[in-house]
Amino acid sequence: MKLQHNLGGLEGLDPINTETQVFVEPWEQRIFGIHTAMMALSNHLGDSLPDYAIEEVPTEFKSFWTWGHLRMGAEGMHPFDYFRLRYYEKWLGGISGFFISEGYITQEELDARTAELLENSAKAAAPLPSGGAAEIDAQVLKYLQEGDSPLRELPAPPKFSVGDRVRVKNISPGDHSRLPGHLKGHLAEVVLVYEGAFTYFFPTEDGIGVPMPVYSLAFKNEEIWPESLTEPNSLYFNDIFEVYLEAV
């Protein structure tokens, strides 16, 4: 069990920080943009529903990169580091590590370039290198406009129907999961069976990544948490992949 998978219902936390800015430091915008470009240039887009000629895009990026890859970096962290670091700090570490592990850059060149920028304010303020093929940016725009729908044909009829009571399996999340840990072992009612099947692109150890039904489940808070800690008249809905559920 990793604490970052089990956030729901933690006690003893601070008041909400209601900061409404998206980026609280200017540098955070840059890592968001880099991640989005990686999503738009990922090698798996050749198999996507939109017509992406991804093999013909003149980028040197030839890797598979999805939300699953990004999330695995954050979910795999030491739990105290997960909470010590801000959202985009986790992205920066995970994305830098990916470019190094895939051999696009080395740790040494990244460290050396970082040190140079920290020591030399003129270089830190200088513009980025210029250039690059316009077709790369055309693909990025096309991705933003057309996306990457995970909807697929149903491989088999859904196991559950509206009104069924189901139990969330108690399984290990592995490196990356789309099952909130605080739901494990708890009962819920199926309120909607989404049409079709959904892939996740990224195969996880706990079984998502192939097309399967997804359900909207309604949980009663007092079934998950002690009643004294819950509030009256509230319902908690969660979209859950079929592989995470078992019949009651």
Partner 1 sequence: MPSNYPGFKYEANREAVSAAKVKALESLLIEKGIITSNTVDNILGYFETEMGPFNGAKLVARAWVDPDFKARLLADCNAACEELDFPQGMSGAEGEHMRIVENTPEVHNIIVCTLCSCYPWPTLGLPPYWFKDPTFRARVVREPRKVLSEFGVEIDDSVEVRVWDSSAQIRWWVLPMRPEGTDGMGEAELAALLTPEAMMGVATVKV
- Contact between 210 and partner 1 (CB under 8 A)? no
The answer to whether the CB of 238 falls within 8 A of the CB of 188 is yes
- Binding to partner 1 (CB under 8 A) within 76-105 occurs at 82-87, 89, 92, 95-96, 99, 104-105
The answer to whether the CB of 34 falls within 8 A of the CB of 58 is no
- Contact between 228 and partner 1 (CB under 8 A)? no
- Contact between 156 and partner 1 (CB under 8 A)? no
Cβ at position 177, least distance to partner 1 in Å: 8
- Contact between 191 and partner 1 (CB under 8 A)? no
Tokens 């009829």 sit at which residue?
157
Cβ at position 235, least distance to partner 1 in Å: 5
| CA distance linking residue 166 with residue 187, whole number of Å | 6
13, 122, 247, 248: which one binds partner 1 (CB under 8 A): 13
The mark string for 22-51 relative to partner 1 (x by CB under 8 A, - otherwise) is x-xxxx-xxxxxx-xx-xxx----------
- Contact between 54 and partner 1 (CB under 8 A)? no
Q: Which residues contact 50 (CB under 8 A, 6 or more apart)?
A: 142, 146, 147, 148, 149
Cβ at position 115, least distance to partner 1 in Å: 8
The answer to whether the CB of 245 falls within 8 A of the CB of 169 is yes
Residue 217, helix vs strand vs coil:
strand
54, 77, 166, 179: which one binds partner 1 (CB under 8 A): 179
Q: Which residues contact 133 (CB under 8 A, 6 or more apart)?
A: 58, 59
- Contact between 230 and partner 1 (CB under 8 A)? yes
Neighbours of 157 (CB within 10 A): 8
Q: Of the two residues 134 and 248, which places its CB atom closer to partner 1 in the complex?
A: 134
Residue type, 28: E
Q: Of the two residues 46 and 132, which places its CB atom closer to partner 1 in the complex?
A: 132
| CA distance linking residue 151 with residue 189, whole number of Å | 23
- Contact between 182 and partner 1 (CB under 8 A)? yes
Cβ at position 213, least distance to partner 1 in Å: 10
Q: Which residues contact 131 (CB under 8 A, 6 or more apart)?
A: none
